[in-house]
Every structure is written in structure tokens, then in C-alpha cells.
């Protein structure tokens, strides 16, 4: 019997999730606030509508006899899409609102980690007014601090001393700005090291790791320029990073298991879905930077195409709590994903610009394309104000994967830019040297 799946969301992450579902043999349906051309091509039926209108989603699922839903982005998760859909009889791959707080509230997460003595936690303090802010800055030292608004900020609200804030005055001004906007915030320890991402499949109790990935948040080459949603990411054929060992992975995976158990004890709700752990390896050990209640974008593109196990089986095991009975395997290959973004992104992106794609050439090269924020009109494709297209290269080693991605990028014409350095040996060496200098 063919399984009917629905994917909620409209970006490149949802495109690759949809592709994995179809590859697994599913009939795909897509519900998205903005039409993704890739999902449109893969789906039996699509609906363009708000991703937080739960009643419409349930009606669409019932009309199409949907067996289960996969939730791509965080926005519907943190307002309870899974609670609503499950109440409507539709099983979901994604956490309920109580568990999705791991992404939705930094105060919840730091509080939980503190209470359950999770090893990778760092010191932090929450504030709901300016009371005590100055004392805390004086106690810890301005240059040791990071300011984080409590809720979702699309990756743009976190400000780090030395990157975005350069004095005690800057910190106080930013905190005041947050209070004026009626935002709660935390001040937390600034870590120094190299970041890595561990995405996991979680069924309430079992937490299964996938290949490590490193993202590139800065807009321009050499990690300069403003922060973005992520300009590209890579993974290596041994599923580690040159500066991250198997012991590091075991260490943070243990913490993620402890966090999943803590969520259940604390909220009474089991965490189910994808849990994305962003960690930093520092001279003081591995530190948790943040959790996301979903897969990453672009990081999903580094992991799902390598999955050898049927993704439908993974989703059903997440729903049924049976991940321990499934052998989950990934190809021992390297991946490089480069995002093409409209010129001017993220500050003043050029929208409605024509994009031309030479699909025959891309297929010959062996690269894959994932559509993000572009739209199709009369068979032409145009940019919007966000990241446009992810180009993925997969190969036996990083060097070849990078070349495939770069050649793939060359088949796309338009007023777009990308980071040539993502996945290159030079950038990787810089990171290895940075880590070595810290661990000396
Ligand atoms: P987030 O939105 O929490 O991922 O933060 C965005 C970026 O800010 C992260 O990818 C880090 O590069 C940086 N960041 C966040 N928290 C910290 C921290 N405690 N120490 C140093 N850098 C941080
Ligand atoms: N690429 C970072 C994220 O998805 O949050």
C-alpha cells in the first residue's frame, strides 16, 4: 500500500525532505505558504496557504487521506502544529509545542540544562527588565558576553561581544532595545572555538545521530559580512570533522539523550522529530550553543541524500517510538552545499530578477538543485529577497564534492552570488589551525 505523506514548509530543507519521502516510495503532498517549484514537481497535489492555519492543514490532510505529516520549519512547531494535527488524527514527525520550546525559548532551554546538570551547558542569566543587567555585566566582564532574545529571531537576534557589540554601552543599549520591544532575554557566556552541527532523529526515547555538518553563517568569503540563514555547509566522508573526534560526538550525543529525557520529565511530553544540536568545541570542552526543533537549512541537504535506510521507515519509527529496531545507515561520502543568494542579500537583496538554469548540464555534472526562495512564472524563475537555490555536490571526498557543487553553481545564471570558499581545503585548514591554537 502506498503511503500518503505531507510536508509542511516551502524552503530547500522541505524540498530535500520531500525528495527523500518520494525516494522512499511515498505519494507526496505539500502545504506551503509560498510555492516551492521543486516540491510542486514532486507532489501529487500542493496547497499554498499559511503554514500556521491548522484547520486548513487538517482539512487538506483529510481530503487526501494523509498517513502522516513531516513538519519542516520552526514557526509552526513553536505554536503547536503537532498538537493540533495529532488531535485531528494525523501523526506527525516533529515535536509538540511543549518539547519545541527547546528552540522556541532560550530561557526554557538554559533553565532545563541547568536544572538537569547537562555537561555542555554554559553559564547564563535571564532578564525581564534592566534590573541587574549592569551588575551582571560588571561581574562577568563585557567581553565574555552574548545577548540572546528569548524567542525565535530567524538567526538575526543573537549578538556576540566582539562581533556585533563592542562595549558595555553597546550591550546595555541592545538589552534596552529588547526590553522596549517587550522581549525577554538572556546574557550568556561567550565561547570561543569551532562550531559543528549534530542533527538527530528522535522518537521520544532513542536519539540517533546523523553525519556532522558545518554551516557558514556569514554572507561573504573568509567568514566576513553580516550573518545570514546560512550560505553553505559541508560534511566529510567519515561523518566527522577534522577537528571533531568520535569521542566529541559521543560526548554531545549523550548530552542530547539526557536533554530528551529531561524534556519528558519536565513537560510530560516526549520529544519526537528532528533535534538539531549546535555545539562549539572549546578549550573547556564541547558547549551547547543552541537547539533547533527541526533539521537545518542547508544542513538537511548534507544528510538526507546520504541516507541509505528508507526515510519513510525512519519517519514511521520516529512516530511509533521504534528507532531502536531500525538500522540507520548513511553513505560514507562527503557533501558540499552552496547557496546562491540574490545580490545584496541579506541587507538589500535584488528581487524579481530572472534566474536561468541549465538543467542538462547540472545533471551531467552530477550536482543536485534544491529550491529555496524563488518563484516560477510562465516557466521562468525569479529571485525573491531570501536565499534562492542550494546546489549540492556529493562525492567520495570533500575536494571532489566541492568541485561538483562549484560547477553546479556555474550552471545557474542571474544576479546572484555565493561563497566560493565553502567546503574548500583552505577554509577547512583555517578552522583546523584555529582549533589547534585553542587546544594548545
Ligand atoms: P544562534 O542563533 O543561537 O545559533 O546564534 C547565532 C550565532 O551566534 C551562532 O552560530 C554562534 O556563531 C554565535 N553564538 C551564539 N551563542 C554563542 C555563545 N554562547 N558564544 C559564542 N558565540 C555564540
Ligand atoms: N542553518 C542554520 C539553521 O537552519 O538554523
Q: Is the CB of 292 under 6 A from ligand 2?
A: yes
Residue 323 in this model has a pLDDT that exceeds 90: yes
Nearest ligand to residue 276 Cα = 2
Nearest ligand to residue 223 Cα = 1
Name the CATH architecture for the domain at 123-189.
2-Layer Sandwich (3.30)
Distance of CA 231 to the CA centre of its chain: 12
pLDDT in tens, 83-103: 999 999 999 999 999 999 999
305 CA to centre of ligand 1 in angstroms: 27
Tell me how far apart the alpha carbons of residues 193 and 281 are, in angstroms, rounded to a whole number: 5
| Banded pLDDT at 35 (limits 50, 70, 90) | very high
267 CA to centre of ligand 2 in angstroms: 25
Helix pair 97-104, 246-267: axis angle to 10 deg: 130
The residue ranges of every structural domain in the chain are 4-94, 123-189, 193-427
Nearest ligand to residue 189 Cα = 1
Q: What is the pLDDT of residue 122?
A: 98
Tell me how far apart the alpha carbons of residues 197 and 227 are, in angstroms, rounded to a whole number: 17
Mean pLDDT of 209-231: 94
Q: What is the pLDDT of residue 325?
A: 97
Q: What is the pLDDT of residue 154?
A: 74
DSSP string, 215-259: E--EEETTTEEEE-S-SEEEE-TTSSBTTB-HHHHHHHHHHHHHH
Phi, psi of 131 (to 5 degrees): -60, 125
The strands making up 27-32's β-sheet, listed across from edge to edge, are: 45-48, 27-32, 4-8, 68-71, 92-93
Return the residue whose CA atom lies nearest to atom 2 of ligand 2.
296
Rg (the chain; Cα; Å): 21
What is the maximal distance between C-alpha atoms in the chain?
Answer: 64
Look at strands 380-383 and 416-417 and give their pairing: unpaired
Return the residue whose CA atom lies nearest to atom 5 of ligand 2.
296
| Banded pLDDT at 440 (limits 50, 70, 90) | confident
What would the CATH number be for the domain defined by 193-427? Answer: 3.30.470.20
Q: What is the pLDDT of residue 421?
A: 97
| Of 214, 217, 296, best ligand 2 pocket probe by most atoms within 8 Å of the beta carbon | 296
pLDDT in tens, 110-139: 999 999 999 999 999 999 999 999 999 999
Measured between alpha carbons, how far apart are the two ends of the chain, in Å? 58
Q: What is the pLDDT of residue 153?
A: 83
Q: What is the pLDDT of residue 46?
A: 98
Which atom of ligand 2 approaches the CA of 233 most closely? 1
Q: Which residues contact 385 (CB under 8 A, 6 or more apart)?
A: 342, 345, 349, 351, 373
12 CA to centre of ligand 2 in angstroms: 12
Q: Is the CB of 76 under 6 A from ligand 2?
A: no
Same fold, 4-94 and 123-189: no
Average per-residue pLDDT in the chain?
96
Residue 293 in this model has a pLDDT that exceeds 80: yes
pLDDT in tens, 230-265: 999 999 999 999 999 999 999 999 999 999 999 999
Tell me how far apart the alpha carbons of residues 329 and 203 are, in angstroms, rounded to a whole number: 17
Q: What is the pLDDT of residue 156?
A: 73
Nearest ligand to residue 9 Cα = 2
Among all chains, which residue has been given the C-alpha cell 546538570? 117
| Of 124, 142, 160, best ligand 1 pocket probe by most atoms within 8 Å of the beta carbon | 160
DSSP string, 139-166: HH-GGGEEEEESS--TT-S-EEBTTTB-
Q: Does domain 4-94 have CATH number 3.40.50.20?
A: yes
Amino acid at each position: 500500500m502506498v503511503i500518503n505523506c505531507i510536508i509542511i514548509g516551502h524552503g530547500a530543507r522541505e524540498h530535500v525532505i520531500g525528495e527523500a519521502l518520494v525516494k522512499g516510495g511515498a505519494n507526496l503532498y505539500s502545504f506551503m505558504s509560498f510555492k516551492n517549484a521543486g516540491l510542486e514537481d514532486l507532489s501529487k497535489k500542493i496547497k499554498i496557504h499559511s503554514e500556521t492555519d491548522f484547520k486548513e492543514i487538517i482539512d487538506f490532510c483529510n481530503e487526501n487521506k494523509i498517513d502522516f505529516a513531516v513538519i519542516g520549519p520552526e514557526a509552526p512547531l513553536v505554536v503547536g502544529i503537532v498538537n493540533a494535527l495529532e488531535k485531528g488524527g494525523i501523526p506527525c514527525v516533529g515535536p509538540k509545542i511543549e518539547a519545541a520550546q527547546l528552540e522556541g525559548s532560550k530561557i526554557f532551554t538554559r533553565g532545563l540544562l541547568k536544572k538537569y546538570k547537562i555537561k555542555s551547558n554554559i553559564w547564563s542569566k535571564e532578564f525581564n527588565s534592566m534590573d541587574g543587567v549592569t551588575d551582571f555585566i560588571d561581574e562577568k566582564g563585557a567581553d565574555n558576553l552574548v545577548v540572546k532574545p528569548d524567542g525565535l529571531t530567524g538567526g538575526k537576534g543573537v549578538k556576540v561581544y566582539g562581533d556585533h557589540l563592542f562595549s558595555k554601552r553597546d550591550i546595555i543599549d541592545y538589552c534596552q532595545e529588547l526590553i522596549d520591544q517587550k522581549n525577554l532575554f538572556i546574557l550568556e557566556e561567550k565561547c570561543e572555538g569551532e562550531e559543528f552541527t549534530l542533527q538527530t532523529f528522535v522518537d521520544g526515547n532513542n536519539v540517533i545521530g546523523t553525519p556532522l555538518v558545518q554551516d557558514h553563517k556569514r554572507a561573504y568569503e573568509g567568514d566576513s559580512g553580516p550573518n545570514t540563514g546560512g550560505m553553505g555547509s559541508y560534511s566529510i566522508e567519515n561523518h566527522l570533522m577534522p577537528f571533531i573526534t568520535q569521542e566529541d560526538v559521543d560526548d554531545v550525543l549523550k548530552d542530547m539523550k539526557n536533554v530528551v529525557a529531561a524534556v519528558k520529565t519536565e513537560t510530560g511530553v516526549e520529544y519526537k522529530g528532528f533535534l538539531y544540536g549546535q555545539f562549539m568545541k572549546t578549550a573547556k570542552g564541547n558547549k551547547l550553543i543552541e537547539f533547533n526543533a527541526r533539521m537545518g537549512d542547508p544542513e538537511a541537504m548534507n544528510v538526507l541524500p546520504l541516507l541509505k535506510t528508507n526515510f519513510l521507515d525512519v519517519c514511521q519509527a520516529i512516530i511509533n517510538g521504534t528507532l531502536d529496531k531500525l538500522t540507520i545507515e548513511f553513505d560514507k561520502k562527503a557533501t558540499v552545499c552552496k547557496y546562491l543568494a540574490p545580490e545584496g542579500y541579506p541587507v538589500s537583496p535584488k528581487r524579481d530578477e530572472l534566474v536561468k538554469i541549465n538543467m542538462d548540464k547540472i545533471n551531467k555534472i552530477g550536482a543536485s538543485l534544491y529550491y529555496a526562495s524563488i518563484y516560477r512564472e510562465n516557466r521562468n524563475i525569479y529571485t525573491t529577497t531570501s536565499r534562492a537555490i542550494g546546489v549540492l555536490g556529493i562525492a567520495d571526498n570533500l575536494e571532489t564534492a566541492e568541485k561538483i557543487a562549484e560547477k553546479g553553481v556555474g550552471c545557474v545564471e542571474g544576479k546572484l552570488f555565493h561563497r566560493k570558499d565553502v567546503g574548500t581545503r583552505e577554509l577547512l585548514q583555517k578552522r583546523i589551525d584555529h582549533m589547534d591554537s585553542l587546544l594548545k
